[in-house]
Copies of this chain bind each other. A is one copy, B any other.
């Protein structure tokens, strides 16, 4: 292997700090955590927000069932223990994305307050991690669609199966959904268009200094 003389590579021993990273990338990371019932509209809104941010050149990435349940978390089932571990891993991965300077969007029912609060804590308390610096914004977005509306939509027929007893432990039917007590944002998809919801998310991101409008 011929070795090229490196004249323009400068580095310091040790890790780059979060501040150095975000400043160099002209980016600020955060996690926007969408929570709500099945068929509430979480993924539609998060996907539209992702498209908008990416089209503006903002590194943004969405974690959802498609890329998590069949990948990182494919060895988890639906027991209480596995559900908690599912959300914990998603929280940890979102935190890594946020640390990297990316706007991480997560789109999971995440029905239990305790699990979501753990993810919030992971972000807000990560002040002295590998890359140093202050905690990271964790923005909880409650997609507040009434269960009657979700059940009418039922795009995958899951509510029907749950009502028929073919699906056990289905959120909103025979398992509780614990609504956030102090979400950073509440969206009402049955009264707002997808575009209006995206604007509300952008306003929140701008208010927190994550993006500029």
Which residues of A does B touch, CB under 8 Å?
A: 1, 3-6, 9-16, 20-21, 24-27, 44, 47-48, 50-52, 54-55, 57, 59, 61-64, 66-67, 71-72, 75, 85, 89, 92-93, 95-97, 99-102, 122, 129-131, 186, 192-196, 198-200, 203
Contact = CB atoms under 8 A, between A and B. Distances in A.
A11 B47 contact: yes
A96 B63 contact: yes
A200 B48 contact: no
Given A96-B61, A101-B59, A51 B199 contact: no
State how many copies of this chain the complex holds.
Answer: 2
In the complex, the 4 A-B pairs of residues with the closest C-beta atoms, listed nearest first:
A6-B195, A66-B130, A61-B100, A11-B48
A118 to B, nearest CB: 12
Contact of A199 (B4, B62, B192, B199): B4
Contact of A24 (B5, B55, B64): B55
A106 to B, nearest CB: 12
Contact of A51 (B3, B11, B62, B122): B11
A107 to B, nearest CB: 11
A2 to B, nearest CB: 10
A71 to B, nearest CB: 5
B47 A15 contact: yes
Contacts of A14: 47
Contacts of A16: 47, 50-51, 54
Contacts of A21: 54
Given A3-B192, A9-B198, A93 B72 contact: yes
A21 B200 CA distance: 23
Contacts of A198: 6, 9, 11
Nearest to A45: B11
Contacts of A66: 15, 129-130
Nearest to A52: B9
Given A16-B50, A71-B96, A100-B102, 19 more contacts: A1-B186, A3-B196, A3-B199, A9-B52, A9-B198, A11-B47, A11-B51, A11-B195, A16-B47, A16-B51, A16-B54, A20-B54, A61-B100, A66-B130, A71-B92, A71-B95, A72-B92, A93-B93, A97-B100
